[in-house]
Amino acid sequence: MTAKIAIEPLKARPEMILVCASWTFGHWDCQAGTTFEETNRLFCDAANDTSSLPLTFVAIADGKPAGMISLRESDFKKRTDLTPWLASLYVHPAHRNLGIGLLLIEKLEIEAERLGYKRLYLTTEDSKSLYEKNGWQEIDCVRTPFGDASLMAKDLRKVTKVSPQAK
């Protein structure tokens, strides 16, 4: 049985703010020296508007929170010259290996292009091959608070449409 998956802006699902903040804080920010309050504030800001950054999308599978992704002005302090950034891609363990991460990435790329961006950036310590399969290219090797990472970029001129399942 396949779960019905909806990808929605956080603005449409404000009850997900604390879920997104908890996932982000637990997975990344608690190790990076960010407070939970700072993380929560970022998602409150992302829920205010869908026409400017930060912007967050949530995946809902059969009514349950399944994942999230954000578009931010910056996500790597050593490269503030690059913008915008795909950030906080997270899929809950109970919903992994169902293609939800790819749906979130596709949706974010389309929204970034809608906002007028031509290129996106990200860092990843362990998911380089996932992004490469989706047209991302490594442009540098960097060191993050979590270890060695790939700095990646993607040109948005060839973004494909979101899968019908993600509407």
**How many helices (DSSP H) and strands (DSSP E) are in the chain?**
5, 7
At 108, the amino acid letter reads: L
Nearest one of 2, 16, 106, 19 to 61, comparing CA atoms: 2
Which residues contact residue 37 at a Cβ distance below 8 angstroms, ignoring those fewer than 6 apart?
A: none
Give Cα separations from 99 to 59, 88, 102, 140 (angstroms). 11, 16, 5, 27
CA 6 to chain centre: 15
Per residue of the chain (167 residues), what is the pLDDT tens digit? 467 899 999 999 999 999 999 999 999 999 888 999 999 999 999 998 777 899 999 999 999 999 999 999 988 888 989 999 999 999 999 999 999 999 999 999 999 999 999 999 999 999 999 899 889 999 999 998 888 999 999 999 754 555 445 44
- Residue 72: phi and psi, rounded to 5, are -130, 155
Element at 125 (helix H, strand E): none
Task: List the CATH number of the domain containing 65.
Answer: 3.40.630.30
Tell whether 77 is covered by a domain.
Answer: yes
Tell whether 166 is covered by a domain.
Answer: no
- Contact, 56 vs 45, CB < 8 A? no
pLDDT in tens, 118-127: 999 999 999 9
Domain that holds residue 88: 5-158
Locate tokens 């915008």: which residue? 84
Q: Provide the whole-model pTM.
A: 0.89
pLDDT for position 16: 97
Tell whether 38 is covered by a domain.
Answer: yes
Total of domains in the chain: 1
- Contact, 136 vs 153, CB < 8 A? yes
- Cα–Cα dist 76/102, whole Å: 22
pLDDT for position 2: 64
- Cα–Cα dist 133/116, whole Å: 24
pLDDT in tens, 153-167: 999 975 455 544 544
